Amino acid sequence: MDIASSEHHQASGTIDHYRISVPGRTEVAGNHQDHQGGCVIASAIDRRITCDAHLNSGTRIHVRSQGHGEFDINLANPNCWTSRASERQTTISLVRGMAAQLMQQGVELRGCTLDISSDIPSGAGLSSSAAFELCVGAALAALCGWHVVSAQEMREQHGLIDHERSLTPLHLAQMALHAERAFFGKPCGIMDQIACAFGGVIHMDFSNRVNPIVSDIKLPPSCDGYTYLLVSCGSGHEDATDAFAGVAQDMQDAADAFGVAQLRDITMERYVDEIGRVRTEYGDLVALRGLAFFEEFGLVARRVEALRRDDARSFVYLTNRSSIVSAEHLQNVGFPGEHEDAMVALALCQRVLAELTIPKDGRLCGSARIHGGGFGGTIQVIVPNELVDPFAERINDLLGERSCTLVRLGAPGIMVEAPSA
């Protein structure tokens, strides 16, 4: 797993032009863990949203967004920060939501122009919407003279930031979460926003779902022998909002059956002993998805331990186990009876890995699992470096040219630069 690194820079003071960039993210381990108090390994990737932000002399936020057209938000309108049902699931709702959050924080917004472009594929499960929210928020704050704190600065100062007019990566992530929930209308957790804001490879413990414990992970040398690929399923998951919400609701129903706020508040042993009651009260799918939480929770912990002892091969093996949990318990790969693009892509990735990599002990040398929240998008594949070319060639033959994308892990989080400084 290659790691890309870069140095964060932000000029201080009031400047009329900033360039902001925010990475996409990949969920390395921890499928649907964040909304039930579990743990996740995530990484920023080498694909970014970029915003050229300029102050203008007017009273409007003017946005030109690649692939999403142009629009204005009139700062002179006293109702301009109200969530609007007609804007749900639209780009303008995210800008309006971030601006509203900044105003509540005390940021005095000014007229500006935001030119936004991206090389993060939309609908691929790489958190392009979270990156967009953070990019807009950082741009608006910087133009108004606020200090956008980088994760690197947080590390160097051990989290002790004394700037009065400053926003940390966690502050911006929490704002972005509210924008996506209340304005865009997606019932998501905060994992995507934190991973994009902080950058690097991180472990997140969501025992406190709003303010999780975030710690850095250093990938050990054995990971250098593997490459991280994303394989397109042929269909995005832009229309899977209801399916994502269904998984979260089913897991919450499972927790409610035990009278707890989240599934992490009980043991797997108790859940299994009383799973019959969950089946009776809520049905088999709820029971299975509740069980998936505990299975994946354990697999994340075991993968963290594998990294600590520099055992990438065990990490890969455990990732294949996670793939089985997703397909059989969570059932979040595709839409049975409707379209099965993701399940076909997953099956073909596993088949090609089997053809290329079965060693004497019967373990695959690579792994393939549905990526992120599932229901389309991409398949996460980890493959030995020497097999990248034959794997990609075979998959591209089966699923279409450029189906395979190499992704580098560990990219920096929010970056703020002042080009004219």
What the block records as the tokens of 9 is 């820079």
- The answer, yes or no, to whether residue 1 has pLDDT greater than 60, is no
Q: Which CATH architecture has domain 221-406?
A: 2-Layer Sandwich (3.30)
Q: Where along the chain do its domains lie? A: 17-217+410-417, 221-406
- The answer, yes or no, to whether residue 8 has pLDDT greater than 90, is no
What the block records as the tokens of 416 is 């703020």
Contacts of 246 (CB under 8 A, 6+ apart): none
**Higher pLDDT among residues 226 and 188, named by residue:** 226
- State how far the Cα of 32 lies from the Cα of 297, in Å rounded to an integer: 10
Q: Give 275-302 pLDDT, tens digit per residue.
A: 999 999 999 999 999 999 999 999 999 9
Share of the chain above pLDDT 90, in %: 71
Q: DSSP secondary structure string, 246-280?
A: HHHHHHHHHHHTTT-SSGGGS-HHHHHHTHHHHHH
- State how far the Cα of 81 lies from the Cα of 103, in Å rounded to an integer: 9
- The answer, yes or no, to whether residue 166 has pLDDT greater than 50, is yes
Q: Give 339-359 pLDDT, tens digit per residue.
A: 788 899 999 999 999 998 776
| Identity of residue 4 | A
Name the nearest CA neighbour of 188 among 108, 94, 79: 94
- The answer, yes or no, to whether residue 402 has pLDDT greater than 70, is yes
**Structure confidence at residue 80 as a pLDDT band (50, 70, 90):** confident
What the block records as the tokens of 115 is 């030119």
What average pLDDT does the segment 164-170 reach?
Answer: 89
- State how far the Cα of 325 lies from the Cα of 171, in Å rounded to an integer: 33
Angle of helix 169-178 relative to helix 128-143, nearest 10 degrees, comes to 120
What the block records as the tokens of 59 is 């009273």
Which residues does residue 69 pair with via DSSP β-bridges, in sequence order?
Answer: 65
| Identity of residue 152 | Q
Contacts of 83 (CB under 8 A, 6+ apart): 93, 96, 97, 100, 182, 183
- State how far the Cα of 42 lies from the Cα of 209, in Å rounded to an integer: 16
Q: What pLDDT is attached to residue 188? A: 79
Q: Residue 37: helix, strand or coil by DSSP?
A: coil
Name the nearest CA neighbour of 282 among 255, 262, 260: 255
**Structure confidence at residue 420 as a pLDDT band (50, 70, 90):** low
What average pLDDT does the segment 297-312 reach?
Answer: 97
Q: What pLDDT is attached to residue 14? A: 62
- The answer, yes or no, to whether residue 11 has pLDDT greater than 60, is no
Residue 219 DSSP code: P
What is the rounded (10 degree) CA torsion for 249, 246, 196, 173?
Answer: -40
- Give me the chain's average pLDDT, please: 89
**Higher pLDDT among residues 244 and 99, named by residue:** 99
Q: What pLDDT is attached to residue 30? A: 94
Furthest C-alpha separation in the chain = 70
- The answer, yes or no, to whether residue 61 has pLDDT greater than 90, is yes
Q: Is the dihedral of CA 297, 298, 302, 305 positive or negative?
A: positive
- Count other Cβ atoms within 10 Å, centred on residue 215: 9
- State how far the Cα of 295 lies from the Cα of 350, in Å rounded to an integer: 21
CA 112 to chain centre: 28
What average pLDDT does the segment 16-37 reach?
Answer: 94
Record the pTM: 0.89
Share of the chain above pLDDT 70, in %: 91
From the candidate CATH numbers 3.30.70.20, 3.30.450.20, 3.30.230.10, 3.40.50.880, the one assigned to the domain spanning 17-217+410-417: 3.30.230.10
- The answer, yes or no, to whether residue 3 has pLDDT greater than 60, is no
Q: Give 356-382 pLDDT, tens digit per residue.
A: 877 656 667 899 999 877 787 899 999
Give me the residue label for tokens 């998984």: 247
- State how far the Cα of 373 lies from the Cα of 174, in Å rounded to an integer: 20
What the block records as the tokens of 306 is 């594998």
What average pLDDT does the segment 40-63 reach?
Answer: 96
Q: What pLDDT is attached to residue 2? A: 33
**Structure confidence at residue 6 as a pLDDT band (50, 70, 90):** very low
Q: What pLDDT is attached to residue 186? A: 82
Q: What pLDDT is attached to residue 364? A: 73
Q: What pLDDT is attached to residue 151? A: 87
How far from each other are the two terminal CA atoms of the chain, in whole angstroms?
35
Strands 201-205 and 39-55: antiparallel
- State how far the Cα of 354 lies from the Cα of 68, in Å rounded to an integer: 41
What average pLDDT does the segment 380-387 reach?
Answer: 95
